[in-house]
A and B are shown apart, each in its own frame.
Chain A
């Protein structure tokens, strides 16, 4: 092996090791920032090793690509709002998938255009190219749809139509057939006799795979977005691995596998937090029974609701011993997290013990709510998980639910007929008092009504969350 290549390979190995250490550190709060930087150093090393590896003959396109990507990526990372983090991660995922797919495409064209010096693709190379193309294209288009949904460009509702699963299944089988055909017909033979066919079929494969990505993501509704974002994250890793198989490059294979694994872990955590299987998320009919009957079939109205004013809530909170805050995505929409923290700080000064309880699926991606609260300066050791708080929740004087709905719905615990049944919830209905801040009585993301709003110990405070919290804060200050 040429010394230069050997050095490049060793640098790749070192990068992979840095990624592993980086990820390890990323999973502990105290070391996370250093871990991320370690991984970035690993990436820089891999890039420098590639550029110095002796395979680069022309530089202008590399520089152009690096500049375009670096500047736009940098700007996006700086300017994005924390509420918009899920769609940005979705978009980045998509770009990673696209890059991996294009690596496979270039390898294919190297053979079919005769650049490789031979048109005989080895069997393993050919299989890798097809898989790389499929995963890369599905990741790209699927992520773009996820981005569109989260950004509100594409409808957030689950798009379903008759024969959808049949269409998806046929499309998938068709793709497999094309892939097998392309793998079996060694391009060498076909290129010689009929140069256009193989190329054309390969382009068809791209289009079909992108279509599959779109079709797989459109039927998934807003409430399930955290699962989809995690799953696409995993795909983007697998796409990189597939590109690694295409190039026989272990750095890509290892890094891709690490990301694939971490995405799968997060996907599993999200599914568990909703008590649903992955298959149920992808193919399920969740949230389709919108407007579903209430428990016992009676139609509830505003008259059944215990509707209160900010001063009542202020009184309750200020003289409580233990307060639990349950933030949901509605909090972030109202941009009320800063005001909320101010209120909580004030309560703590009065000697009230305040805990924030964050449900794993609160927000639009795993851990999203934690980031939003961190942005509002809430220390992460004040954040609790539902299982930390549920056992003693009966001793909590007041639960303040801000912009959360499905994650506090008692039907998930009590009502086997509910779509939410079995999902772990924060059992705020068992606390002494519960205040729910909400714009209206509309059902949540999952489209399921919430019995909590009509309970005797629940108070409803209607209005904009930021405004209501501000008014509670004023009242608390005067007490």
Chain B
């Protein structure tokens, strides 16, 4: 077991705690946008996908890479856009009266 993985585990556990702390109190109004927005963030795998698609190691990796990049991009672009579309609909009463 190398030191790197141990640090990674530390980072993971602490980030989970950050997540719980940051998000605990979400009004129900925002449950759906929070989910689709955080879903877009999980498309961060695009970082790994880009490297595979760009390393030029042969057809096998090109295929895996292009599928991974496309899938992650759908997740990222679609996720952020649809969240924005939803959030622009939310308004307070005072906006009209």
Chain A residues near B (Cβ < 8 Å)? 12, 15-16, 19-20, 22-24, 26-29, 32-33, 35-37, 39-40, 42-43, 46-47, 50-51, 55-59, 61-62, 64-66, 68-70, 72-74, 76-78, 80, 82, 85, 88-89, 92-93, 95-96, 98-100, 102-103, 105-106, 109-110, 113, 115, 122-124, 128, 229-230, 233, 236-237, 239-241, 243-266, 269, 358, 360, 365-368, 370-371, 374-375, 377, 379-383, 385
Contacts and interface: CB of A to CB of B under 8 A. Distances in A.
B53 to A, nearest CB: 4
Contacts of A262: 19, 23, 34-35, 38
A442 to B, nearest CB: 27
B93 A36 contact: no
Main secondary structure of the interface of A (DSSP, over half): helix
Contacts of A95: 43, 71-72, 74-75
A69 B42 contact: no
Q: Which 4 A-B pairs rank lowest in CB-CB distance, beginning with the nearest?
A: A69-B73, A261-B19, A65-B69, A367-B31
Interface string B34-65: 11111111111111111111111110111011
A46 B44 contact: yes
Main secondary structure of the interface of B (DSSP, over half): helix
A296 to B, nearest CB: 35
Given A50-B47, A73-B77, A367 B42 contact: no
B87 to A, nearest CB: 4
A26 B28 contact: no
A93 B31 contact: no
Contact of A374 (B20, B74, B90): B90
11 contacts: A19-B41, A23-B19, A37-B84, A65-B65, A65-B68, A109-B61, A123-B1, A248-B8, A252-B44, A257-B11, A257-B12
Contact of B50 (A51, A96, A109, A358): A51
B32 A85 contact: yes
Nearest to A263: B38
A247 to B, nearest CB: 5
Contacts of A248: 4-5, 8
Nearest to A367: B31
Given A27-B22, A50-B50, A109 B33 contact: no
